[in-house]
A = this chain, B = another copy of it.
Amino acid sequence: MENKFTFAKALIHAAGDFIKDNMVQDLQIEEKTRFDDLVTNLDKATQELLITRIKQAYPNDNIMAEENNIHHPISDGNVWVLDPIDGTVNFVVQGANFAVMIAYYENGKGQFGLIYDVANDIMYSGGGQFDVYANDKRLTSYQDVALKRTLIGCNASMFSCNYCGIRDLVDQTLGVRVYGGAGLSMAYVMTGRLLAYFSYIQPWDYAAAKIMGEKLGYVLLTLDGKEPDFATRQKVMFVPKQKLSTIQTYLD
């Protein structure tokens, strides 16, 4: 597993370098389901790079990935879960605040996760048997903070419509932040910049953070407190386990 983790860290750096080298050129932007659901040629090319190298190194391993409907079930064997560019809108508009994400599961059990903040060159990695780091700084487990001294990260529309009472929870805190990328928002939870994160996301959006977070005292659950299904888009929360019951008192 040590070797696989080392391989994954080198791979995610290579993917980040590939994006940086190519993002200066004209992007080809496509609209998927609607005008604000974007994919670029670089999302696809980066996913290809990731898959090709994984298959070269581990030909019997399987892939679940964002683009091109590659959806091997999480519970079946060795599965790499890939999001080549998480936060594509930020990538397109800002050229920053996006991440490459890799998670590795064996028969449904998370072994390690990686979130690479390409623009800021910060790699969050670890989980399972590995300590969690932001580059060379080891992240510490969640330390309790009073709600009224925290911030909540959230999907804008779930906040706006007070979905499940999320805005009632936010009202107990110093406010909401909307950053537009699931991976980096969850990295900010793990570094204490946000207490919790709420969104409506896919397995490749939460797979890496879930593994790392569990090592640090966080849980990734659906809004009704169940394990996510790793198959469909779901409304989830990423919260400190120690704060879960407090948070749930504000949620419907």
Contacts and interface: CB of A to CB of B under 8 A. Distances in A.
Nearest to A37: B174
A237 interface: no
A92 B192 CA distance: 11
Interface stretch (A71-79, A134-142, A149-157): A149-157
A163 B89 CA distance: 24
A216 interface: no
A36 interface: yes
A178 interface: yes
A110 interface: no
B193 A150 contact: no
A174 to B, nearest CB: 5
A89 B156 contact: no
A176 B174 contact: no
A200 interface: no
A96 B117 CA distance: 16
A189 to B, nearest CB: 12
Closest 9 pairs between A and B when the two form their complex, measured CB to CB: A178-B178, A94-B193, A160-B160, A89-B174, A156-B176, A36-B174, A93-B151, A35-B148, A177-B178
Given A93-B150, A175-B180, A177-B179, 13 more contacts: A36-B175, A89-B174, A92-B149, A93-B149, A93-B151, A93-B174, A93-B192, A94-B193, A156-B175, A156-B178, A160-B167, A177-B178, A177-B180
10 contacts: A36-B174, A89-B151, A89-B175, A93-B151, A94-B151, A94-B192, A151-B180, A156-B175, A159-B160, A175-B178
